[in-house]
Structure 1
Amino acid sequence: MNHRPINDTPIQTRRAVRLFALLVLAAALPLAGCATIEREPFEATQVDAAQPRDMPRVRYWADAPDLIQQMSLPAPADGEPLRLLALSGGGDKGAYGAGFLNGWSQSGKRPRFSIVTGVSTGALIAPFALLGSDYDDEMKAAYTQITPDDVFEMRFPLAIPFSSSAATTGPLEQLIARFATNAVIDAVAEEHRAGRRLFVGTVNLDRPGNAIWDMGAIAASDAPDRYALFRRILLASSSVPVLFPPVLIETQVEGRQISELHVDGGAIATLLASPSVAEGQSGRAGLQTELYLLVNGKMAGEFEMIDGSVPDIAARTIDVILFASLQDRVNSAYTWSQGNGAAYHLTYIAQDYKIEDHDLFAQDFMQDLYDYGLERGRRAAWEERPPSPKPEVESGAEPGDTDTAGNRQ
C-alpha cells in the first residue's frame, strides 16, 4: 500500500522531485530575499584550507591536483588485493544496493573492501558495506522498514517561499541517528585504524565541487563532536537541493570559524572519484586492484514524451545531464581499469526492470526493489564492462540477461 507524505502531497520518483523543486523555486523567486541563512562572510582560499575543529585532514576536494598525495592511503595487507566499492546515489532506489549486498553475502562471495565510497543514498549504505555482512540486517531494515514520513515532512505550502526548502529533514536526521549509532561509528573507527577507508561525498554550495570526507578519520578522532559530524555529513550527502535544506557544517581555518552549506553529493557526481581513489596504490609492484561500481539506478533514461512546458523541459534536461555524468563516470572507470590492469565490476538496475510511478520512499516499491537486488546479489550479477550505448539485437538475448558471473549473454 502506497503511503502518502504529510500534507497529502505525493512526491513521485526522482524526476518528479526535480520537477517539484523547479516549481517551488519559480514560485519562491519573487520572495527570494525573504529566506536566507545568516552567516559571516569568508573567502574561497579560506574554505579551501578549512577543516572541522580538532580534525585535521578529514576533508579533501575532488578537484585538488594533489588529491592522492593528500589522502596518504595505506597499502593493503601483503597478498591482499586493493578492493574499492563505489556506491552511487539514487534516492529510494538505494534499496537495490542494500538488497544486492545482502544477496552477495548470502552467496558467500562478498569480499572485504579496502575502500568504500558513497554519495547520496550510497553514503547511507557505505558504512554498512565497509563493516561487512554482520550489518546486513541493519542495512535491510534501513531500506525496507521505512515510509516517506521517516524521511521528510513537507512544509505548509504558504511557508515554502519563506524557507530554504520545500521539506524539512527532521525525520531523516532521526532515521540516520537510528542506524548510524555511536556503536556503528566506533566500528568504522576500528576499521580505519586497521587501514580500511570510508569516503563520502557532499557538494559545497559556496565552493562548487565535491567535498570528500574521510569518515573513518572522523570516527577515529578524539574530537567530542565526532559522532554528530559523522551523521551530519551523511545528512548533507542525502539532502536534495531545494526539496531539502542545505546542511550547515562548521569548519575553521587559522582559528576562524566558517559556516559551510552542503547538499546532496549526487548533485554533481553520482559516483565518487572511484578510479582516482585507487590510483594512490595501483602502481605498487604486484598489487592487484579490483573496482566494484554499484549503481542504484539504471544506466540509461526511460523514453518519455514531455509536455513541452518550461518546468518539464528543465526537469528532463537535468535527467539527461545526470545520466550523461553517470555514464561518463562508469566509462572512465572502465578505461582506467583497462589501462592499469585492474579488474572491473559493475552492477545496476537492468533496463527491463519496470519502475512504475510511486510515492518517493514508498515501502512496497522499496521492498520489491530490495528483493530484485537480493536475487541479483545471490548470483553475483556483476558485469565486466559498461553496457553498450545501443542495445545488441543480433544475439537475441533479452535486455539485462546475464550469466552467473553477471556477464551479458
Structure 2
Amino acid sequence: MGQAQIAGLSGVRYMVASQTSIDQMASDIEAGFKVRSESTLNSSANYLSLSGGGDDGAYGAGLLIGWSERGDRPQFNLVTGISTGALIAPFAFMGKEYDPVLRHVYTQVGPEDIYIERGLISGILGDGLSDTTPLYQLISKYADEYTTKNRWLLIGTTNLDAGVPVVWNMGRIASIGTPEALELFRKIMLASASIPGAFSPMLFDVEVAGKSFQEMHVDGGAITQVFLYPSALSARAQDLKLKLQKQRNAYIIRNSRLDPQWRETERGTLSIVQRAISSLIQTQGVGDLYRIYHTTQLDGVGFNLAYIGSDFKFPHKTEFDTAYMQALFDYGYRQGIAGKEWQKYPPGYKRGFDENLPKK
C-alpha cells in the first residue's frame, strides 16, 4: 500500500511505517532547508503537537488563545494534529489571527453542529451510528486557504484497510491551490476526526500501478493519540547531514486527563466495552507521550507538555456539551494567559541517575 497515491495529487502523504515514505519525508525537509536563510537557521524552531480528545479539544483551543493574548506564543515551524487536534491544527498553524475561529468552534458549537444521529438499526447496519455532514459543513466554512511559508502542517489518519498510520502534508496540499486539493484538505480533517463506529469513515480515491481503488480512513486516534514526527526521521536527517536550527522546542498539548478517572461500570456488554476502550485510549495516550519524550531527548529538542489537570471538576453530561466545553476552554485560557508552566517530563517519569551526570 506504500505505492498508493491520491488520484491526481501524488506526493501529499507519508505512510510512516514505510522506510520509503520516511526517505521521502526527509527529502522534502531537505528541499525546504535549501531555501532557508542563515538567520532562520540561527533562530529557534518551535513544534506543536495537538492530541485527540473529542470535545476536550476545548482545552487546547483555550490554552492557545490565552497564550496568544499573553503575547509570547511563537510561530510554529511544525504543527501536527490527530482527531480533535486535527481540527485545531490549521488554525494554530496560521496564527493568532485565527483565534476567533477557534473560540467559536470550541465554545459555540453544539452536538447538532457535529453530527446527526441515525436510527439504531441504520447505524448498526451502516458504517457509523452518526452522520457527520454537519461537521463537514463546519470544516468547509473555515478551511478555505492557507499559506505555508516553508513550514509544516501534518495531520494523521488511520488507513483502516492497511491498518497503518498515514501522515498528510497539509501544507503541500494547500499550496496546490485547486478545488480538488481544497476538497481533499477538508476530507482529511474530517477523516482524522471520524471515530470508528460512531462516525462514518472517509473514502479516498487512490491509484496503484494504473488501477483505481478506494481506501477507508478513520480517526488517527485509532493508532496514536498524538505524534510529533517519526523517530526514524532523525536517523535519516543525520544521513543527509541536514543543518538543523540550533534551539528546538516541542510543545505537546494532550487534550485529555492523564490520571485515570474512577467511574462505576454497569454490568452490561456495551458499558463494559466502552469503559475498556476508554481505558485503552487513556493508557495509549500516555505511551505516546513517552515515545515523543524519548525522540526529543535523542534529538536534543526541548519537551514541554500540557494536559487537563485533576483540578478541573466541571461535570461532563453529554458529548459536545456547550457548557462543559466553555468551562474547559476557560480553564485552558487561564493557563495560557497566566503563563502555563509546561511539564518537562511525561507523567510518572523519573530521571535516571545517568541523566543527572554532567554532559561531556
The answer to whether residue 142 in structure 2 is matched with residue 179 in structure 1 is yes
Distance 1:55 1:121, change over 3 A: same
Residue among 193, 199, 203 paired with 1:248: 203
Displacement after TM superposition at 1:315 (Å) = 2.0
Give the Å deviation of 1:284.
3.3
Shift of 1:68: 3.5
Paired residues for 1:389-400 under 5 Å:
none
Match of 2:101 among 138, 141, 147: 138
CA distance in structure 1 between the partners assigned to 2:207 and 2:280 by the alignment:
34
Determine the C-alpha separation between the residues in 2 that align with 1:61 and 1:127.
21
Aligned residues: 336
Matching residue within 74, 81, 89 for 1:118: 81
Q: 1:270 and 1:355 mapped to 2: Cα distance?
A: 23
3-state DSSP of counterpart to 1:202: strand
Q: Which runs of 4+ in 1 moved over 4 A?
A: 280-283
What's 1:388 paired with?
348
Quote the Cα distance in structure 2 between the aligned partners of 1:338 and 1:293. 14
Q: Is the 8 A contact 1:86 1:274 kept in 2?
A: no
User: 1:209-248 counterparts in 2 under 5 A?
Assistant: 209-248=164-203
**Would you say the 8 A contact 1:62–1:273 is kept in 2?**
no
Taking the TM superposition and a 5 Å limit, the aligned residue runs for 1:81-230 are 81-180=44-143, 182=144, 185=145, 187=146, 190-191=147-148, 194-230=149-185
Shift of 1:333: 1.8
Q: Which sections of structure 2, spanning at least 5 residues, go unmatched?
A: 351-360
1:214, CA displacement in angstroms? 0.5
Q: CA deviation at 1:272?
A: 2.2
In 1, are the aligned partners of 2:136 and 2:190 still within 8 Å (CA)?
yes
C-alpha displacement of 1:300: 2.4
Cα distance per residue 1:133-187 (max 9 Å; x no partner): 111111111111111100001012342233211111111111111121x2xx2x2
Note closer, same or farther for the CA distance 1:227–1:150 as it changes in structure 2 (3 Å cut): same
Deviation at 1:131, TM superposition (A): 0.5
Q: TM-score, normalised by structure 2?
A: 0.87
Residue of 273, 290, 311 corresponding to 2:270: 311
Match of 2:216 in 1: 261
Q: Separation in 1 of the partners of 2:14 and 2:233?
A: 15
Q: CA deviation at 1:276?
A: 3.0
CA distance in 1, matches of 2:177, 2:108: 34
Alignment deviations for residues 215-272 of structure 1 (CA, whole Å, 9 cap, x no partner): 1111111544011110000010011111111111112223322211111111110102
From 289, 299, 302, give the equivalent of 1:340. 299
1:52 and 2:6 correspond? yes
SS of the residue 1:344 aligns to: strand
Q: How does the TM-score come out when normalised to structure 1?
A: 0.77
Q: Is contact 2:314-2:327 (8 Å) kept?
A: no
Quote the offset at 1:61 in angstroms.
1.2
Residue 402 of structure 1 corresponds to which residue in structure 2? Answer: none
Letter matched to residue 210 of structure 2? G
1:362 counterpart = 2:321: yes
Contact 1:85-1:291 within 8 A present in 2 as well: yes
Structure-2 separation of matches of 1:324 and 1:389? 14
Which stretch has the larger CA shift, 153-162 or 239-248?
153-162
CA distance in 1, matches of 2:271, 2:256: 21
TM-superposed CA distance for 1:212, in Å, is 0.6
Among candidates 245, 248, 264, match of residue 289 of structure 1: 248
User: What is the deviation of 1:304?
Assistant: 2.2
- Residue 206 of structure 1 aligns to a residue in which SS? coil
